[in-house]
Structure 1
Amino acid sequence: MRRLRYLLLATLSLPLAAPAEEARNFLLLGQGEVDQYAHLLQRPDIDGVQIIYTWRQLEPQKGQYDFSSIEQDLVRVSALHKQLFIQIQDRFFTKEARRVPNYLLAGNGYGGGLVAQSDDDPGEGPQTQGWVARQWNPNVRERYQQLLQALAKAFDGRVEGINLPETAIGVDDKHDKAFTCDKYFAAELENMLFARKVFKQSTVVQYVNFWPCEWDNDHRYMERLFDAAFKHGVGLGGPDIVPYRKAQMHNSYPFFHRYKDRLALIAMAVQEPTLTYRDPNTGKHFTREQFDDFGRNYLGASIIFWTTSSPWLLQ
């Protein structure tokens, strides 16, 4: 009896487990749209915004940076007592979008700066034609890292975080003989770790969904990226939450699930195309509750970036 009383008292004296961090919701906005959606940002269940900025916009001339658009958005977001994630885009998903600095397109040593690509969804084939910066070219990569360093000098600790764009690209090596999947993976890993090095206070989030040449981690790209992110305190995320979608379940999703309690941050997005997907069991569009449950509980997301066309935001 005395032993039982001792065990009971010992159990009661153990510290209670800390409650799970409350999930945060951010809006996906375009540049200059903060005022337009101020009514949504004023909601208590919205914590901030993610806004995409293109490389060309931020570096109109070589080594000359223009961060006025970020400054303006940051002022407006801060006035509403919300937080800002900035996404620095070096890949584009329409034929017309070539939004890198002109010196990369025409200058020597950059191989044309961009290469034609398709937004390739493994298992479903090419989706949308577009362009991607030749990050496997060391001169292009060096200029991109210079941009990241300048951004860190201006905004580290002032913005909540910085997103690096998704890993999925489709490049035909006939358009660039220097491209290999190994070189591309090494370049993206280097950029991610460089961003973590220069952003010492703001969170760094690398979007990862697929790797070219890989399926079911058969090149260990996915495994190596998640392991590096864990070891170096980098957050990871993805451009789409689609519950148990086959292609993602053979690529990034199982790794998010495996690492969900180990990564510095997991941040996932529900974009407009994501809203078009349907639950195969019901034939109906996925609901907010389904996105939220899969995103939070399976993938481990503590932040979800929501498109403003999400039905629950229109109610």
Structure 2
Amino acid sequence: MTTTRHFAVSCLTILILCALSLRAAEIQTGEKLAATTNSQAVKWHPGHYAFVQSSPLGEEQIYKNFRGIEKMYTWRALEPQKDHYDFTAIRSDLAFLGKHDRRLIIQIQTKTFGAGQNYCPDYISGPDYGGGVYKTRWSSFNPVIWNERVNERLNALYTQLGKEFDREPFLEAVVIPESATTFDVATQTAIAYTPEKYTRSVESGMQALKAAFPSTVVMQYVNMPPESIQPLADYAKARGIGFGGPDIYPHDPLLTNPQHGVYRLYPPLSGLVPLGAAVQQNDYTQTAAFRGTPGETPVKEIYEFGRDKLHLNYIFWGTRRGYFEKVEAMLADPSFPKDPAGGLEPRCPQSLANPMTSRN
């Protein structure tokens, strides 16, 4: 009887040790293990990220006190020919950042504002897609997404990206660029533009990206046109899609307008969907987007506006020389919040089931 009891105790001890070892392994591997065992889990690491535009990544981009990098990848580079995809750059950046325990946020860039630039594949400009692009007031070329055939091709890119990267543990989020159009809607395109048609086309992309990345935060930047911002906010709320913007301008009279500005839509969405916004190069030195007079906005004021007025989960800080260093100093200050989210809203929104989190 004693031998039997000792054997039973030994077996129980072994089982307990095995369970503890397994739990320790789960904690150590963090979201990698969770990603393989919970199909509903969504990666969730809110906080401060450095927005490097499309710059190559190196050791100098492993910034202390930042959770990772937001980087732009153009449609043209990702799909150089129809149905021929090249995701080499994303794979390389994920591998590099993963080695340093940093996370990547992909911005799928379809719009550009430099004269003569076109981030769409050449085939989109062909007759099968009605010309496929329109000319902006900066003489760049952006996609006519309200053309159903163009919209379908962009959504196909989202699907392929999701198949490749949704389960990557160091891919934090995927962002669709700003909703603004900035062109002569009356005369340029073969497919007639209406505000309703344009809004539906943006919503189509939001839903396609959400379907492609069920385990990853997805976000639509919304700033214009005025008639689209409320419907897009409602759509994001109804479907658990992140809502954000390309700029943080605390003093922009249009964006901050309490009746019509897009910033009024952030607080009601807080706690329901992910919220994020970028601080682009000009945000440091202009008081408003293309409307304000030159004038430096202190980085602490930008941060506090994003935290207190917009209730952001994420801020993507542009790395403009002379200003990004001030952001680094702010985050490194002993008085600055040292929680992983860096003082931003850390709570996972209700729309994200079973978030996968880790300390880093």
Question: Under TM normalisation by the shorter chain, which class is it?
Answer: 0.7 to 0.9
Quickly say closer, same or farther: Cα 1:226–1:165, change in 2 above 3 A.
Answer: same
Q: Quick one: which of 225, 234, 238 aligns to 2:245?
A: 238
Alignment of 1:228 with 2:235, yes or no, is yes
Q: Which residue of 2 aligns with 1:57?
A: 77
Tell me, what secondary structure is at the counterpart of 1:249?
A: coil
Tell me, what secondary structure is at the counterpart of 1:160?
A: strand
Cα deviations by residue, 1:236-264 (Å, 9 ceiling, x for unpaired): 1111111142110232100112322322x
Unaligned runs of 5+ in 2: 1-43, 289-293, 330-360
Q: How does 1:135-146 map to 2 (within 5 A)?
A: 135-146=145-156
Q: Quick one: which of 43, 51, 71 aligns to 1:28?
A: 51
Q: Quick one: which of 306, 322, 326 aligns to 1:295?
A: 306
Quickly say closer, same or farther: Cα 1:23–1:292, change in 2 above 3 A.
Answer: farther
Cα deviations by residue, 1:122-178 (Å, 9 ceiling, x for unpaired): xxxxxx442210101111011101100000000113111100010011221211152
Q: Which residue of 1 aligns with 2:187?
A: 174
Alignment of 1:76 with 2:83, yes or no, is no
* Bigger strand share: 1
Q: Which residue of 2 aligns with 1:151?
A: 161
Shift of 1:287: 1.1
Cα deviations by residue, 1:73-106 (Å, 9 ceiling, x for unpaired): 1111111101101011111112211121111112
Cα deviations by residue, 1:180-232 (Å, 9 ceiling, x for unpaired): 22211110011101111121101101000111xx3xxxx4x322211211121
Q: Which residue of 2 aligns with 1:17?
A: none
Equivalent position amino acid for 1:174 in 2: T
Shift of 1:284: 5.4
Q: How does 1:197-212 map to 2 (within 5 A)?
A: 197-211=211-225
Q: Which residue of 2 aligns with 1:273?
A: 282
Distance 1:40 1:148 in 2: 26
Q: Quick one: which of 248, 255, 276 aligns to 2:255?
A: 248
Give yes or no for contact 2:115–2:139 (8 Å, CA) kept in 1. Answer: yes
Equivalent position amino acid for 2:75 in 1: W
Q: Which residue of 1 aligns with 2:41?
A: none
Distance 1:29 1:192 in 2: 23
Unaligned runs of 5+ in 1: 1-20, 119-127
Percent of residue pairs identical: 29
Equivalent position amino acid for 2:238 in 1: K
Q: Which residue of 2 aligns with 1:165?
A: 177
Question: Structure 1 length normalisation: TM-score?
Answer: 0.81
Q: Which residue of 2 aligns with 1:133?
A: 143
Distance 1:23 1:83 in 2: 11
Alignment of 1:189 with 2:203, yes or no, is yes
**Higher gyration radius (CA):** 2
Q: Which residue of 2 aligns with 1:11?
A: none
Is 241-250 or 198-207 further displaced after alignment? 241-250
Q: Which residue of 2 aligns with 1:122?
A: none
Give yes or no for contact 1:40–1:313 (8 Å, CA) kept in 2. Answer: no
